[in-house]
């Protein structure tokens, strides 16, 4: 038996400094002879000793942490440790040593030789890196498997018999041992610590630590293997490496080698992965990977999927459906198998009949057809613009039904931005799709694994992706778990705030929005891969009104003096002045001078009314108008269902209180209910409002603005200002639904049955605002203070790299401090989350301290966009953080030479407020700086950025004293009873913007009806059959569309400069046989291959369906890339002939024959 027990780690014994962890490392290696599980467990224990040694050496905080002993997980997350070793190295230690060790010790997971060897290799690499940092006599070493100590069979038998008992004993002793180990480490290191640290500082972190440019082999072991394990693959079993393939490019004897081959349960290939190193573009391997796929297709008779990866990005280059695209990870074994079967077996969903019990209206069927045609054209994303009340949920449920029966979809995710919308969608789907298993993730996560359709808010799903796992530890919601994702109310703010969800999941996506197409922002169109202003399908409010699927509104626009102008003391009556003084002050005032001394406000802004100031008469005027003039039901005996949109929760409660005083009987009977987020049973209250006679009036703060469907609602009261156009239309949509059988009484038609309209009481000028500002004020995406501060620090770091700054040692030292702060934020990122993995390239790149040596514009953009959202400063003093944000922006402008007067004023104002708090001891300690700012204007105007940093550090902890007092004043709501007056009240005045939309939509509907009616006649028939149109017939068509049906101006508004022939083609398409005749000469003259024939058939189908190809360049882009792009399939002469045919077909619809 060999007596060489030192093995690969024996060199550690040569250096007394390493005594604390040399033996544990050697014991881990020795276990290879008798137990692989002991190897991974001992490797974890050895790693813990090495990490503690580093902490003690570097004096990284106190390693005797909260629970009495340091936990390895906590130590690995320490920002100083991560900064020293690199985030990538920490990730490798977690995946290869910590996780297997924990699972072996605590879950009894069994490991084989490969996993045990990987743990040892990672431990050796890490220890060698430590030796490089701290050993002046460092010698490069390599791990040699032949050096692993061999133990005789008797030792193996003895060890197996006692292994369980020994493990238990070790666990019992572990806590006390750790304390002893800490003390021993400290004793050993105290005399040499300083020397070791100085040695480390002179040595760079080399290739075993974090690096942006690493070899392909390391890319695979560090990143790609990790991603495969996360997805549930087992290397060496269903995920094979370096798999040889014969006959590359069809040449016998020419062999290739596939980096990774992913096999199904039957051992046959489902996908290949082509790997490149991190510094290469993942897509560089696409051609090579497809050659491998060709080989496997010849061998097995089918084509596997193709993935490409450089460790930072993963691309799906071939999934038998659409073009190459980036995905959030590798498909899990189950998901890959399901997607592979779907790709082989799915049918064209356009050929599957729609269940009209779910969605049977004509426009709903058109919407479903548009999405199905879009998918048939290999477009994975569709955008439906449908007015509130037209059945978006029905359409989405019908699509799920059609896709399921087409074999295209198994698992579905429905996303909405509010819990109530999620609940409502699940309820509706349960009614429409009774055989499907459903799960509301917001209420119950336990049923998610077995449910075909999952409903969730965006935030719940972000958390669930990382939190929910299969028993084997792989993610429950893998990248390809959902075949279809339905996005309710799809608009820019959703994609900005929760866009990572859609970058992670890979599946078909259908967006639903009620926002009119002309108001949908460009980013939303881009996300769904459609042209701006051209959603996949559109059915707007005006069209639904014309078809009587929705009802119009009747406006009652009122205004009161206080709501419009606020409250001015000097304009009040003497009686109201006295009440004003009593309500806004503590002691009556006899003259103006005394009022000013007591800070009695002379004016209350209109914005403060219904927020901090509640006036009885203002609320009473609105309630009286509603109760006297609102639409009534039950033969006029009671008010119809009503929603009041209140400004704040306090405002809502005040409305309820005033209603009780004005209408005590109705209040006692339960007519009114406040529905706010703070109410424990808010969802129950919504259900009661929807399904029961009482309450009649719901007073809501942001809970009934969108998605809550109550057809009986006939009155909406806008008692708040709305400036987002999207939100305004959503709120109007609460009243648009029809309600058959509802008996109504109103001031327009008297008594009638079936809801004809709803009233809008607008006392806050919303109609007037949107009439003057058609686009409204776009809602901004909220940005956290930490994110804002990180961005400002980055911009400051960039500003401080100019020549003027680099010559100043003080500024350079400060820049270094800012860089360390930024890198501490990067080091604290949990890189195991799915969002961090999507940004791995940026995180790894900027984990290297040298990445900040010089930042260019692209670097700043990456830090702003990809890293800043992870920032979290963990400071509970929110007021200090706000001050930090202001000051860093001030500093960046000061260094960059920007305009700073606004910041000078703000800082001076802060100092003045602090000057008023000199009785506070903490403030008084900084009196000198505060006085300097307030008394010497030149100081702030000319102090440099570093001086401003000193001011920030000194004052940030004091801001809470002035902010707290301000907040206390704001929280102190004033209730008053001043005499308000109604300034104006106008009924039934048209909302100009809506009238314009109505007229345009009605015109487009009339044009479509005319074309459909004359489809086989005159010019329209010729255009539909690709025939040249003589001038007389062309002129007749122009007159019909531009004079008879509408005007030239209306045509231009609706269709731009499109010739009438192309407008006709968009509706009629082109006769399929006519398109084939147009290509007949080309088809007859060329003997086409199967791929060429497939391309031509698809081209003919697309022209027949869409009417024409707009630009020849489209023939080289998706969806015309199947099976390959045209330039790869045809010669240049053939391409010219095809393009000429395409242009002739379009030309026949562009003008009259000449």
Report DSSP state, residue 98: I
Report DSSP state, residue 663: -
CA dihedral 47, 53, 54, 55 (to 10 degrees): 110
Q: What is the pLDDT of residue 145?
A: 75
What whole-number distance in Å separates Cα of residue 129 and Cα of residue 138?
Answer: 10
| More confident call, 1117 vs 886 | 886
For residue 705, give the nearest of 688, 717, 687 by alpha carbon: 717
Residue 1122 has pLDDT above 60, yes or no: yes
Residue 21 has pLDDT above 60, yes or no: yes
Residue pLDDT, tens place only, 387-407: 988 999 999 999 999 999 999
Residue 169 has pLDDT above 80, yes or no: no
What whole-number distance in Å separates Cα of residue 696 and Cα of residue 643?
Answer: 9
Q: What is the pLDDT of residue 1?
A: 31
User: Is the CB of residue 220 less than 8 Å from the CB of residue 84?
Assistant: no
CB 954: neighbour CB atoms within 10 A?
14
Q: What is the pLDDT of residue 1101?
A: 87
Continuous segment of H or E residues that includes residue 640: none
First CA to last CA across the chain, in angstroms? 100
CA dihedral 400, 405, 409, 410 (to 10 degrees): 100
Residue pLDDT, tens place only, 259-293: 999 999 999 999 999 999 999 999 998 989 999 99
Q: What is the pLDDT of residue 83?
A: 84
Q: What is the pLDDT of residue 322?
A: 80
Q: What is the pLDDT of residue 999?
A: 62
- High-pLDDT (> 70) share of the chain, %: 89
Q: Which of 1-10, 28-37, 738-747, 770-779 has the lowest mean pLDDT?
A: 1-10
Residue pLDDT, tens place only, 408-461: 999 999 999 888 889 989 999 999 999 999 999 999 888 899 999 999 999 999
For residue 385, give the nearest of 276, 259, 252, 542 by alpha carbon: 542
Residues whose CB is less than 8 angstroms from the CB of residue 433 and which lie 6 or more positions away in sequence, other chains included: 358, 397, 400, 401, 453
Q: What is the pLDDT of residue 199?
A: 54
47, two tokens: 């790693």
Residue 134 has pLDDT above 90, yes or no: no
The mean pLDDT value of the chain amounts to: 86
What whole-number distance in Å separates Cα of residue 376 and Cα of residue 506?
Answer: 18
1036, two tokens: 């007749």
Q: What is the pLDDT of residue 197?
A: 54
For residue 760, the cross-strand partners are: 555, 716
Q: Which of 195-209, 606-620, 709-723 has the lowest mean pLDDT?
A: 195-209
861, two tokens: 């953009």
In degrees and rounded to multiples of 5, residue 941 shows phi and psi of -70, -30
Q: What is the pLDDT of residue 724?
A: 85
750, two tokens: 């008297």
In degrees and rounded to multiples of 5, residue 984 shows phi and psi of -160, 155
Residue pLDDT, tens place only, 337-348: 999 999 999 999
Burial code (b: 16+ CB inside 10 Å, e: under 16) for 742-765 equals bebbbeeeeeeeebbbbbbbbbbb
pTM exceeds cut of 0.85:
no
CA atoms in the 13 A half-sphere facing the CB of 505: 29
Q: What is the pLDDT of residue 826?
A: 92
Q: What is the pLDDT of residue 586?
A: 46
Say how many residues make up the chain: 1154
Angle, helix 878-896 to helix 785-799, in steps of 10 degrees: 20
For residue 631, give the nearest of 774, 735, 771, 741 by alpha carbon: 735
Three-class secondary structure of residue 457 per DSSP: strand
Residue 590 — pLDDT band, cuts 50, 70, 90?
A: very low
CB 32: neighbour CB atoms within 10 A?
21
What whole-number distance in Å separates Cα of residue 896 and Cα of residue 802?
Answer: 9
Residue pLDDT, tens place only, 483-492: 999 999 877 6
What whole-number distance in Å separates Cα of residue 799 and Cα of residue 796?
Answer: 5
Q: What is the pLDDT of residue 838?
A: 94
CB 224: neighbour CB atoms within 10 A?
24
For residue 1040, give the nearest of 1058, 1026, 1061 by alpha carbon: 1061
Q: What is the pLDDT of residue 998?
A: 53
Burial of 602 (0-12, 13-18, 19+ CB in 10 A): exposed
Q: Which of 380-394, 694-708, 934-948, 1105-1119 has the lowest mean pLDDT?
A: 1105-1119
Residue pLDDT, tens place only, 938-962: 898 889 898 999 999 999 999 988 8
| More confident call, 1094 vs 205 | 1094
Residue 1021 — pLDDT band, cuts 50, 70, 90?
A: very high
Residue 297 has pLDDT above 70, yes or no: yes
Residue pLDDT, tens place only, 666-686: 999 999 999 988 777 888 899
The CB-based long-range contact list for 1132-1136 (8 Å cut-off, 24+ gap) reads 1134/1082, 1134/1086
Q: What is the pLDDT of residue 1050?
A: 85
Residue 80 — pLDDT band, cuts 50, 70, 90?
A: confident
298, two tokens: 């010849």
Residues whose CB is less than 8 angstroms from the CB of residue 938 and which lie 6 or more positions away in sequence, other chains included: none
Three-class secondary structure of residue 221 per DSSP: helix
Continuous segment of H or E residues that includes residue 416: strand 412-416
The DSSP annotation for 432-501 comes to: H-TTS-EEETTT-STTGGG-SEEEEEHHHHHHHHHH-B-TTSSBSS-TTS-SEEEETT--HHHHHHHHHH
- High-pLDDT (> 90) share of the chain, %: 52
Q: What is the pLDDT of residue 114?
A: 78
Q: Which of 343-347, 512-516, 817-821 has the lowest mean pLDDT?
A: 512-516
**Residue with structure tokens 């497809």?**
290
Q: What are the start-end ranges of the H helices in 598-713?
A: 616-629, 649-662, 664-668, 682-691
Residue pLDDT, tens place only, 219-261: 999 899 999 999 999 999 999 999 999 878 777 777 889 999 9
Residue 1110 has pLDDT above 90, yes or no: no
| Cα separations in angstroms, 222 against 87, 91, 128, 211, 551 | 12, 8, 17, 11, 61
Strands 758-762, 713-718: pairing kind: parallel
Whether a cis peptide bond, with omega within 30° of 0, leads into 1119 is yes
In degrees and rounded to multiples of 5, residue 272 shows phi and psi of -120, 155
Continuous segment of H or E residues that includes residue 257: strand 256-263
For residue 100, give the nearest of 114, 86, 88, 87 by alpha carbon: 114
Strands 325-327, 697-700: pairing kind: unpaired
Residue 864 has pLDDT above 60, yes or no: yes
CA atoms in the 13 A half-sphere facing the CB of 256: 21
Mean pLDDT for the stretch of residues 905-931? 92
Handedness of CA 72, 78, 84, 87 (dihedral sign): positive
Residue 563 — pLDDT band, cuts 50, 70, 90?
A: confident
């Amino acid at each position: 038996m060999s007596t060489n027990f030192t093995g690969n780690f024996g060199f550690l014994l040569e250096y007394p400094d390493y005594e604390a962890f040399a033996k544990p490392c050697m014991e881990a290696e020795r276990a290879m002879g008798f137990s692989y599980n002991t190897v991974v467990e001992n490797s974890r224990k050895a790693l813990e000793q090495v990490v503690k040694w580093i902490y003690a050496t570097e004096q990284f905080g106190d390693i005797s942490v909260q629970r009495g002993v340091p936990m390895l997980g906590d130590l690995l997350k320490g920002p100083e440790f991560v900064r020293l070793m690199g985030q990538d190295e920490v990730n490798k230690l977690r995946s290869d040593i910590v996780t297997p060790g924990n699972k072996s010790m605590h879950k009894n997971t069994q490991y084989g030789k490969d996993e045990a060897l990987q743990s040892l290799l990672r431990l050796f690499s890490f220890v060698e890196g430590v030796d490089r940092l701290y050993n002046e006599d460092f010698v490069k070493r390599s791990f040699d498997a032949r050096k692993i100590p061999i133990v005789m069979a008797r030792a193996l038998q003895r060890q197996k018999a006692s292994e369980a008992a020994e493990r238990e004993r070790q666990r019992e002793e572990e806590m006390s041992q750790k304390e002893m180990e800490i003390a021993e480490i400290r004793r050993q290191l105290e005399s040499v610590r300083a020397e070791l640290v100085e040695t480390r500082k002179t040595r760079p972190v080399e290739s075993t630590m974090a690096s942006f440019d690493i070899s392909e082999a390391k890319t695979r072991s560090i990143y790609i293997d990790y991603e495969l394990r996360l997805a549930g693959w087992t290397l060496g079993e269903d995920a094979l490496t370096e798999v040889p393939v014969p006959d590359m490019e069809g040449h016998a004897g020419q062999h290739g080698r596939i980096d990774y081959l992913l096999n199904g349960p039957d051992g046959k290939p489902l996908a290949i992965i082509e790997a490149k190193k991190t510094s290469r573009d993942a897509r560089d391997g696409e051609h090579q990977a497809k050659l491998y796929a060709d080989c496997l297709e010849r061998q097995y008779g089918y084509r596997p999927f193709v993935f490409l990866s450089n460790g930072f990005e993963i691309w799906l280059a071939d999934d038998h459906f659409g073009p190459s695209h980036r995905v959030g990870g590798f498909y899990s074994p189950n998901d890959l198998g399901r997607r592979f079967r779907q790709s082989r077996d799915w049918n064209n969903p356009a050929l599957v009949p729609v269940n009209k019990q779910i969605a049977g209206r004509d426009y709903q069927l058109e919407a479903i057809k548009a999405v199905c045609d879009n998918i048939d054209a290999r477009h994975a994303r569709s955008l439906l613009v449908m007015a509130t009340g037209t059945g978006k949920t029905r359409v989405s449920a019908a699509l799920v039904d059609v896709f399921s029966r087409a074999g295209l979809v198994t698992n579905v995710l429905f996303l909405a931005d509010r819990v109530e919308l999620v609940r409502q969608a699940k309820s509706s789907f349960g009614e429409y799709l009774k055989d499907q298993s459903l799960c509301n993730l917001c209420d119950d996560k336990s049923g998610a694994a077995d449910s075909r359709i999952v409903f969730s808010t965006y935030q719940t799903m972000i958390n669930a992706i990382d939190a929910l796992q299969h028993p084997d530890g792989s993610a429950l919601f893998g990248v390809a778990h959902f075949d279809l994702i339905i996005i309710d109310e799809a608009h820019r703010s959703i994609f900005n705030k929760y866009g990572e969800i859609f970058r992670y999941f890979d599946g078909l996506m259908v967006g639903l929005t009620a926002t009119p197409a002309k108001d949908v922002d460009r980013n939303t169109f881009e996300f769904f891969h459609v042209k701006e202003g051209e959603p996949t399908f559109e059915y707007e409010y005006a069209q639904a009104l014309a078809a009587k699927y929705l009802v119009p509104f009747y406006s009652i626009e009122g205004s009161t003096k206080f709501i419009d102008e606020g409250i001015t003391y000097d304009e009040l009556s003497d009686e109201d002045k006295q009440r004003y003084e009593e309500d806004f002050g503590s002691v009556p005032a006899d003259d103006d001078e005394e009022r000013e001394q007591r800070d009695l406000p002379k004016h209350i802004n209109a914005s403060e009314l219904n927020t901090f100031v509640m006036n009885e008469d203002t609320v009473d005027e609105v309630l009286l108008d509603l109760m006297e003039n609102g639409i009534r039901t039950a033969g006029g005996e009671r008010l119809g269902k009503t929603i009041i949109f209140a400004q704040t929760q306090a405002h809502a409660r005040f409305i309820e209180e005033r209603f009780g005083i004005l209408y005590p009987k109705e209040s006692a009977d339960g007519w009114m209910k406040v529905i706010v987020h703070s109410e424990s049973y808010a969802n129950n209250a919504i259900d009661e409002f929807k399904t029961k006679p009482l309450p009649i009036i719901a007073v809501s703060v942001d809970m009934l603005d969108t998605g809550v469907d109550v057809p009986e609602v006939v009155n909406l009261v806008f008692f708040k200002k709305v400036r987002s156009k999207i939100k305004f239309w959503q709120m109007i949509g609460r009243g648009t639904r029809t309600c058959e059988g509802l008996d109504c009484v109103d001031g327009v038609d008297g008594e009638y049955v079936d809801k004809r309209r709803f009233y809008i009481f607008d006392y806050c000028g919303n109609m007037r605002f949107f009439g003057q500002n058609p686009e409204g004020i776009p809602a901004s995406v909220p940005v956290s203070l930490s994110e804002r501060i990180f961005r400002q620090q980055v911009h400051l770091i960039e500003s401080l790299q100019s020549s003027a700054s680099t010559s100043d040692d003080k500024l350079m030292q400060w820049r270094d401090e800012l860089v360390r702060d930024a890198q501490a934020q990067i080091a604290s990122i949990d890189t195991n989350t799915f969002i961090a993995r999507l940004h791995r390239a940026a995180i790894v790149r900027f984990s290297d301290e040298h990445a900040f040596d010089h930042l260019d514009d692209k670097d700043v953009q990456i830090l702003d966009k990809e890293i800043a959202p992870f920032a979290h400063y963990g400071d509970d003093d929110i007021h200090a953080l706000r001050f930090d944000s202001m000051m860093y922006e001030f500093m960046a402008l000061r260094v960059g030479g920007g305009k700073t007067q606004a910041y000078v004023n703000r800082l001076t104002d802060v100092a003045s407020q602090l000057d008023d708090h000199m009785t506070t001891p903490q403030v008084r300690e900084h009196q000198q700086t505060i006085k300097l700012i307030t008394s010497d204007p030149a100081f702030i105007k000319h102090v440099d950025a570093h001086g401003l940093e000193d001011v920030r550090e000194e004052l940030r902890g004091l801001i809470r004293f002035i902010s707290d007092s301000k907040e206390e004043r704001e929280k102190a709501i004033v209730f008053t009873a001043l005499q308000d007056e109604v300034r104006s009240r106008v009924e039934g005045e048209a909302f100009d913007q809506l009238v314009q939309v109505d007229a345009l939509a009605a015109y487009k509907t009339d044009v479509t009806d005319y074309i459909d009616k004359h489809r086989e006649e005159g010019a329209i028939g010729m255009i539909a059959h690709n025939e040249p149109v003589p001038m007389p017939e062309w002129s007749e068509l122009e007159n019909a569309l531009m004079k008879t049906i509408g005007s030239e101006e209306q045509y231009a508004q609706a269709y731009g400069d499109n010739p009438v022939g192309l407008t006709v083609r968009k509706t009629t398409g082109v006769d399929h046989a006519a398109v084939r005749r147009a290509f007949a000469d080309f088809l007859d003259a060329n003997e086409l291959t199967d791929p060429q024939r497939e391309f031509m058939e698809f081209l003919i189908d697309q022209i027949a369906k869409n009417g024409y190809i707009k630009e020849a360049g489209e023939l080289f882009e998706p969806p015309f890339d199947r099976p390959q792009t045209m330039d790869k399939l045809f010669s240049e002469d053939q391409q010219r002939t095809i393009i000429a045919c395409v242009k002739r077909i379009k030309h026949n619809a562009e003008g009259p024959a000449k």
